[in-house]
Structure 1
């Protein structure tokens, strides 16, 4: 499984604890040598609320294995089943995943060559940083992006612990210097994603061609 394939994270229960467990499972599998994994978006059983489904979908869009799936007797998992607002939020998340597809392919190649997982704990580059080691609600996607999903209901702003260096909020382009804890907007339509200063990320351009997205270092 480590060499030739991957796995999904098992039949995670529908609910906010199941959403949080999904991230823990993907991080743990990556550290155990299984870089390609992901959860059943929305949970395997039950009927997620529109808010829960959207937050799960937003998390899943940044994980290696990205799929909606459920038990045969559970609620539906198509985004349009949760109303027009949820459908639009899902569309935005899916469009960002498609834009980042070249980066995800790059991470797949690096995982094959080095064993480094796509999804990494925020302490990946600084294992001696105790506050980072205690952070279980965010992750690094490769070395370039820090993703901070919303894992609780009713949250539209959340604290994010930053590793050392300069980080740019990809939505606002505002810069933050770590190590620090910052509070970022997390409206229903998106979750906080930050780019590491100096990183170069391959992305899909508007015409479908390959582009390089550079996060400059401003002193």
Structure 2
């Protein structure tokens, strides 16, 4: 969205906001010399006479708070491993020569592939998927990797795909809807949720600022969850029914998702 000079169009502001959600730091700046250059979403909407700038910004600000547990846990991982948070695809798939010159896609953490939309009026873009399987973040469609795909990207979304066989932590409200409002507290999650995508092929560890730790494993088709610390409950989310061992207090289905409430005994 820039810093100084004339403001961008509402569409380009929206596109920059969408990418910023999937960056280590989501931050907007404005030159203070001219109030008309203010990069706030309400000024962008008013100056462009396009209320979508504010409406879509609000949805993505909510989404940012939804994925905060993922961002924090991945930040711990990359800090300990000495790896980047925003990763060129070739970093994790070095043997795929088709990735050597791809500069407009990246991995955000280990499990989210992001392909920003940067051109005004663009509603479709070509993206390359590395090996493996990739699940559309927005609708759950599965794609095979090592090929290019044409991705439809209306103004309300950019291409984001989840690496199959991974776990994505979320902070969700009681509707368990991605994009739902959860406030702006960074030290207290409304509902700590874990979306299991595919199978758990290797152990997954989640940590937070308070010293809490959650371990996920899968053995003989059964998912085991170990909670240490003061977390009293978590929720596990999946598009399919799961076989969970242990402390399942409740099972519900919302928006075609299976939601399991796990209590810490």
* TM, length-normalised to structure 2: 0.64
Q: Which whole-Å CA distance do the structure 2 matches of 1:200 and 1:152 have between them?
A: 32
Q: Decide which structure has greater helix share.
A: 1
Q: What corresponds to 1:159 in structure 2?
A: 126
Q: What corresponds to 1:112 in structure 2?
A: 79
Q: What corresponds to 1:216 in structure 2?
A: 198
Q: What corresponds to 1:27 in structure 2?
A: none
Match of residue 143, structure 1, among 110, 124, 140? 110
Give the superposition deviation at 1:72. 1.9
Q: Which whole-Å CA distance do the structure 2 matches of 1:78 and 1:211 have between them?
A: 31
Q: Which whole-Å CA distance do the structure 1 matches of 2:33 and 2:11 have between them?
A: 21
Larger RCO (CA within 8 A; separation ≥ 6): 1
Q: Which whole-Å CA distance do the structure 1 matches of 2:124 and 2:196 have between them?
A: 26
Q: What's the C-alpha RMSD, in Å, of the aligned pairs?
A: 1.5
Range with bigger deviation, 107-116 or 173-182: 107-116
Q: Equivalent residue of 2:95, what SS?
A: coil
Q: Equivalent residue of 1:123, what SS?
A: helix
Q: How does 1:59-208 map to 2 (within 5 A)?
A: 59-73=19-33, 75-83=37-45, 84-207=51-174, 208=190
Q: Which whole-Å CA distance do the structure 1 matches of 2:98 and 2:168 have between them?
A: 27
Give the superposition deviation at 1:89. 1.1
Match of residue 54, structure 1, among 14, 36, 39? 14
Give the superposition deviation at 1:70. 2.1
Give the superposition deviation at 1:202. 1.1
The structure having more radius of gyration, on CA atoms, is 2
**Where in structure 1 are there 5+ consecutive unaligned residues?**
1-41
Q: Which whole-Å CA distance do the structure 1 matches of 2:79 and 2:97 have between them?
A: 29
Q: Which whole-Å CA distance do the structure 2 matches of 1:109 and 1:119 have between them?
A: 14
Give the superposition deviation at 1:215. 1.1
Give the superposition deviation at 1:191. 0.7
Q: Equivalent residue of 1:124, what SS?
A: helix
Task: Give every structure 1 segment of 4 or more consecutive aligned residues whose post-TM-superposition deviation is greater than 3 Å.
Answer: none
Q: What corresponds to 2:252 in structure 1?
A: none
Q: Which whole-Å CA distance do the structure 2 matches of 1:164 and 1:211 have between them?
A: 27
| Number of equivalences | 177
Q: Which whole-Å CA distance do the structure 2 matches of 1:112 and 1:121 have between them?
A: 17
Q: Decide which structure has greater strand share.
A: 2
